[in-house]
């Protein structure tokens, strides 16, 4: 790798210019973006520069876990990383375990291995005119370089130049529901990120733990702490709702007519419930209907007014999430067993304060106008993905806002993007050189965080970038 403050060369071994695409984010979204770009490489080649802050290329944080109870919440036959080939992952599993059924909920660690191997295999199969360059570092800003190219500034002083940029950063980190005392964070009594290395080790021998949030992250943490000898756990969220279970057999999504989004949410809700009755009468259930909504959701969401989308986020979202993002049957069985044993209780309430008390913490929880003080050994923030991108924007996103190269969506959940994934600039124009893949599109499409959406985002970005031959590779190369 070049030394700081140098520009990495963007030419192949013969000195022939090739188009260069920088992908920011080395997790699932970035990996699948790189894979689709390289698989679609034109005859004269392409260089993909894959950049990750931690230097972890492939799995991303959700898929690094090795816990056997941390499993995917989608059956294997629908988790393929290649657009148009949803069974790609299942075939990969069959090569290792021939008895693996299509409805299997594989461990997330296995899926992480799959992503890493997919990237490595793609790199090994490259024509010599194409190249994958992996860079460890954080991109702080994007500026202009010679010939209208993009110049990426890294945190260690290095600069990269590229013809196109793909933002594949994943979702924002969650914030704290209330500011915890600094001493609790320093002593590890308050855990702001349960996935930080070693974060849960001490909690596994506690007597009592309070978890803030009752979604998928909470279920994962309970899987770790629920082993014999672990603590008594209380989980609290505003609604006290827990993800529903998948059924043992795969769902059967079928398209059905939806009302015009211009008329608002109420007709849609009525249509969905009517469809659930029809499907249930035919032997299916609500899961078939929820999964049928996945494909039309992005276009439908765009058609809703801002007021109706905001209403959904405030009034309906939590109910939607626990039914849409379900947990595997085996995980649900284990969670319910822990509830029956009294090891885990789930309640509704709002966190009003956290204070240091002796060696632990006192958490004030308000429910029904009554405030309860709960004293525990440890508090774990499991509120999941963050919202409010202007408040929690990483340096690169903040720079895009400051320079007008990008803007937040109108709910400030993520970035504003065009229907084909191009970043929308502050003046409302579509960026010619910056594309967005994955969770940062949620505010304008809602369905944007699953592998199904990510792989299609990645494929569409590759088609757009590599198909735009007139402007993709017009700038002179400057060398180092």
pLDDT tens figures, 134-181? 999 999 999 998 878 999 999 999 999 999 999 999 877 778 889 999
Residue with more model confidence, 17 or 337: 337
pLDDT for res 5: 36
Compute how many other C-beta atoms are within 10 angstroms of the C-beta atom of residue 288.
20
What three-state secondary structure class fits 239?
coil
* Cβ(189)–Cβ(360) below 8 Å: yes
88-144 pLDDT, tens digit per residue, is 999 999 999 999 999 999 999 999 999 999 999 999 999 889 999 999 999 999 999
pLDDT band at residue 371 using 50, 70 and 90 as cut-offs = very high
Q: How far apart are alpha carbons 332 and 298 in whole angstroms?
A: 29
pLDDT for res 170: 81
Using a pLDDT cut of 90, give the percent of the chain over it.
Answer: 83
| Architecture (CATH level 2) of domain 182-244+327-381 | 3-Layer(bba) Sandwich (3.50)
| Burial state string for 437-461 with b = 16 or more CB within 10 A and e = fewer than 16 | bbbbbbbbbbbbbbbbbbbbbbbbb
Q: Which residue carries 């109870």 as its tokens?
A: 69
Strand duo 360-367 + 350-357: pairing: antiparallel
* Cβ(351)–Cβ(181) below 8 Å: no
| Architecture (CATH level 2) of domain 20-173+387-472 | 3-Layer(bba) Sandwich (3.50)
Q: Which residue carries 């790189």 as its tokens?
A: 34
Q: 0.75 cut: is pTM over it? A: yes
* Cβ(150)–Cβ(161) below 8 Å: yes
Compute how many other C-beta atoms are within 10 angstroms of the C-beta atom of residue 240.
15
Q: Please check whether the two domains, 20-173+387-472 and 182-244+327-381, share a CATH topology.
A: yes
User: Residues 407-421: what's their mean pLDDT?
Assistant: 95
For all residues of the chain together, what is the average pLDDT? Answer: 92
Residue 202 pLDDT exceeds 50: yes
Residue with more model confidence, 22 or 17: 22
pLDDT for res 157: 96
Phi-psi domain of 479 (left: phi exceeds 0; alpha: psi -120 through 50; beta: other): left
pLDDT band at residue 469 using 50, 70 and 90 as cut-offs = low
Q: How far apart are alpha carbons 93 and 451 in whole angstroms?
A: 17
Which residues have CB under 8 Å from 180's CB, separation 6+? 190, 192, 354, 361, 379
Residue 472 pLDDT exceeds 80: no
For the chain, the structural domain boundaries read 20-173+387-472, 182-244+327-381, 261-324
Consecutive H or E run containing 88 = helix 88-96
Consecutive H or E run containing 281 = helix 265-281
Residue 295 pLDDT exceeds 80: yes
pLDDT band at residue 392 using 50, 70 and 90 as cut-offs = confident
pLDDT band at residue 10 using 50, 70 and 90 as cut-offs = very low
Paired residues of 47 in beta bridges: 20, 131
In this structure, what token pair is assigned to residue 2? Answer: 């070049």
Residue 391 pLDDT exceeds 70: yes
* Cβ(326)–Cβ(245) below 8 Å: yes
Strand duo 164-167 + 20-24: pairing: parallel
């Amino acid at each position: 790798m070049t030394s700081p403050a140098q520009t990495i060369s963007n030419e192949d071994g013969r000195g022939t210019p090739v188009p260069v695409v920088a992908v920011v984010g080395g997790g699932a979204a970035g990996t699948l973006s790189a894979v689709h770009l390289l698989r679609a490489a034109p005859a004269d080649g392409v260089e993909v520069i894959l950049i990750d802050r931690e230097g972890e290329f492939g799995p991303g944080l959700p898929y690094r876990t090795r816990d056997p109870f941390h499993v995917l919440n989608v059956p294997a036959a629908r988790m393929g990383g290649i657009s148009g080939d949803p069974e790609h992952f299942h075939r990969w599993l069959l090569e290792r375990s021939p008895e693996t059924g299509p409805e299997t909920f594989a461990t997330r660690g296995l899926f992480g291995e799959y992503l890493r191997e997919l990237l490595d295999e793609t790199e090994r199969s490259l024509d010599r005119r194409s190249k994958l360059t992996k860079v460890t570092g954080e991109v702080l800003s994007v500026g202009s370089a010679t010939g209208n190219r993009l110049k990426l500034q890294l945190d260690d002083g290095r600069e990269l130049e590229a013809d196109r940029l793909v933002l594949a950063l994943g979702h924002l980190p969650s914030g704290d529901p209330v500011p915890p005392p600094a001493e609790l964070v320093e002593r590890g009594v308050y855990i702001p990120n349960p996935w930080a290395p070693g974060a849960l080790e001490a909690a596994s021998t506690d007597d009592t733990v309070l978890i803030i949030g009752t979604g998928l992250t909470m279920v994962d943490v309970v899987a770790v702490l629920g082993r014999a000898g672990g603590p008594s756990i209380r989980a609290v969220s505003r609604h006290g709702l827990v993800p529903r279970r998948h059924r043992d057999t795969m769902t059967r999504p079928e398209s059905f007519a939806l009302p015009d989004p211009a008329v608002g949410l109420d007709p849609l809700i009525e249509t969905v419930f009517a469809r659930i009755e029809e499907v249930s009468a035919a032997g299916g259930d609500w899961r078939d209907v929820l999964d049928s909504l996945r494909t039309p959701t992005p276009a439908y969401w765009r058609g809703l007014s801002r007021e109706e989308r905001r209403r959904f986020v405030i009034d309906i979202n939590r109910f939607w999430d626990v039914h849409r993002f379900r947990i595997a049957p085996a995980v649900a069985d284990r969670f319910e067993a822990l509830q029956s044993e009294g090891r885990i209780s789930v309640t509704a309430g709002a966190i009003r304060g956290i204070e240091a008390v002796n060696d632990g913490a006192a958490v004030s929880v308000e429910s029904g106008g009554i405030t309860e003080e709960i004293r525990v050994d440890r508090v774990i923030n499991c509120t999941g993905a963050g919202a409010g991108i202007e408040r929690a924007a990483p340096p690169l996103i903040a720079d895009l806002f400051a320079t007008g190269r990008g803007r937040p969506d109108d709910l400030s959940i993520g970035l504003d993007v065009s229907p084909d994934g191009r970043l929308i600039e502050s003046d409302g124009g579509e960026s010619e050189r910056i594309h967005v893949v994955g969770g940062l599109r949620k505010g304008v499409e809602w369905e944007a965080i699953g592998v199904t959406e990510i792989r299609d985002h990645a494929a569409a970005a590759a088609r757009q970038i590599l198909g735009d031959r007139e402007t993709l590779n017009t700038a002179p190369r400057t060398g180092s």
